[in-house]
Amino acid sequence: MTSTAAAPASPTPQEAWDEMRAGNIRFVEGAPRHPRQDVERRHEIAGSQTPRAALFGCSDSRLAAEIIFDEGLGDLFVIRNAGQVISDSVVGSLEYAVAVLNVPLIVVLAHDACGAVRAAIDSTGIDAPPLPPLIWRQISPIVPAVRRVLRAGADAGVTPETVDPEVVGREHLRDTVGQLLHASELISTAVAEGRLAIIGANYRLGEGAAEASIILGDVHDDAAS
């Protein structure tokens, strides 16, 4: 594994996203560089971290952040839980990334075939068995997205058995970004002042591609333009 020079400090939101997007394209194409993962890099950053972005995503084992964006040690400040559900712990960690580590970008990462989304859908079925309480507490914030999609499809006869989980997942991703802005004045102010951008992205397990679907702040996505 070859050492790659550290990326320049203090990227703009655009530079941070361009770098992650380029890394994801390398991963999709099967040509990752595995940058900044060697002993030299480990020593270089042992004293302090200056991550270039924060990532809040689902815990799914197939969503390994540094691998799918072809990043290295010290590049990403990562928070993950099942179904990427907002909590005080998540918001506090993201505020730390923004206020103390000065990251210019938060990527909120959802994915297709998400087990947490599936569980939230199944929980709305008639005769759905109760979930263990803490698992229920984790996935219940996804249920409003399920109910909205079910309501929208009611006339077409959409049921918990037939609803498209990817539509629910995209709706939940929108909810998650909205809740983050609502929960954190620190973060919403940083976005308003142009110091921070937030990208909501959907990852496709088969293709390995992370596609931006929600973009807030001073950043654009070349794939979407």
Question: Which of 19, 60, 66, 171 forms a contact with Zn ion (CB under 5 A)?
Answer: 60
Tokens describing residue 179? 């809740």
Nearer to Zn ion, 60 or 171 (CB): 60
CB closer to Zn ion out of 119 and 190: 119
Go through the chain and tell me how many residues it has. Answer: 225
Could you tell me which stretch among 34-42, 52-60, 160-168, 213-221 binds Zn ion (CB under 5 A)? Answer: 52-60
Give the x/- contact pattern for Zn ion in 115-144, rule: CB under 5 A: -x----------------------------
Is residue 197 close enough to count as binding Zn ion by CB under 5 A?
A: no
Candidates 54, 58, 198, 219: give the one binding Zn ion (CB under 5 A).
Answer: 58
Interface with Zn ion (CB under 5 A), residue from 53, 94, 103, 114: 114
Region near Zn ion per CB under 5 A, out of 110-118, 154-162, 168-176, 203-211: 110-118
Helices (H), the chain: 13-28, 39-44, 65-68, 88-99, 115-123, 133-139, 143-152, 165-183, 185-192
Closer of 68 and 116 to Zn ion (Cβ):
116
Question: Which C-beta is closer to Zn ion: that of 58 or that of 79?
Answer: 58
* Interface size with Zn ion, residues (CB under 5 A): 4
Q: Which range in 23-31, 57-65, 92-100, 199-207 contacts Zn ion by CB under 5 A?
A: 57-65
- The Cα 28–Cα 121 span in angstroms is 30
CB atoms within 10 A of CB 15: 17
Coil vs helix vs strand at 180 = helix
Other beta carbons less than 10 A from residue 133's beta carbon = 8
Output 58 or 183, the one with its CB closest to Zn ion. Answer: 58
Q: Rounded to the nearest whole angstrom, what is the least distance from the CB of residue 117 to Zn ion in the complex? A: 7
Stretch touching Zn ion by CB under 5 A, among 35-43, 107-115, 165-173, 207-215: 107-115
Phi, psi of 142 (to 5 degrees): -85, -20
User: Phi, psi (5° rounding) for residue 223?
Assistant: -65, -25
Contacts of 40 (CB under 8 A, 6+ apart): 3
Main-chain phi, psi angles of 123, to 5 degrees: -65, -20
Choose between 58 and 197: whose C-beta lies nearer to Zn ion. 58
Identify residue 25 by its one-letter amino acid code: I
Sites of contact with Zn ion (CB under 5 A)? 58, 60, 114, 116
